[in-house]
Chains A and B, each alone.
Chain A
């Protein structure tokens, strides 16, 4: 079974631009979560989608948004990019509705560099 795929793997943008990252979950998984990883802040939760609905959102500004499609694929968008948005963006998928026993499967991430 194919794992979580993320595209593109690397991206370079300039300040003020916007960017869209894509995530395809494992087949059959209906929940997708996004995380941002930076050297200073570590791994931080961005948002979570289940059945095309945002179920949870982390403490990030409104410039960060996302959506999920009917096939469970998800995209996240960052508008008006800032230098501090340079990070590894990770997508994770899960099979069942949230419980203490569910596990998340992470993709390899998209490395975003903002110049």
Chain B
């Protein structure tokens, strides 16, 4: 799988928007961009995914650059429950395998 680069940590004030960046300059045309997060003492949970267009769901929004070499996960109003490690992962649509390759992720701290 192609590699992603994320900042090690970020901070946000509660109830403010958070923009978590991810660089994936070697992304291929068949790679989907997935985001998972891991809350303390829990297993990772799926957040959102996209291919080319921006995506929204109840948890977050995903903004994908036009050249697809970067993307941004947007939490519209951070809550204390959003404090977690966020992972940006590329999934090859033709891989036929469920394997997720996790990087170090971004540890998000939310300040009350």
Contact = CB atoms under 8 A, between A and B. Distances in A.
Chain A contact residues: over half helix, strand or loop, or mixed?
A: strand
A51 interface: no
A42 B36 CA distance: 14
B95 A106 contact: no
B18 to A, nearest CB: 22
Contacts of B100: 33, 35, 43, 45, 92, 104
11 contacts: A42-B105, A43-B100, A56-B97, A92-B100, A100-B49, A104-B44, A104-B100, A105-B45, A107-B43, A108-B43, A109-B42
Interface of A: 4, 31, 33, 35, 42-45, 48, 50, 55-56, 58, 90, 92, 94, 97-109
B83 to A, nearest CB: 18
B17 interface: no
B93 interface: yes
Interface stretch (B8-16, B27-35, B70-78): B27-35
Size bin of chain B's contact surface: 20 to 34
| Chain A CB within 10 Å, residue with most, of B30, B92, B96 | B96
Nearest to B95: A98
A50 B98 CA distance: 10
Contacts of B51: 100
Contact of B43 (A42, A92, A99): A92
Contacts of A44: 102
B104 interface: yes
A90 B44 contact: yes
A12 to B, nearest CB: 18
A43 B44 contact: yes
A96 to B, nearest CB: 10
B102 A103 contact: no
Nearest to A45: B99
B106 to A, nearest CB: 13
Given A100-B30, A102-B91, A105-B46, 16 more contacts: A33-B99, A35-B100, A42-B103, A43-B102, A48-B97, A50-B98, A56-B98, A92-B44, A99-B96, A100-B31, A100-B32, A101-B49, A101-B91, A101-B93, A103-B46, A106-B45
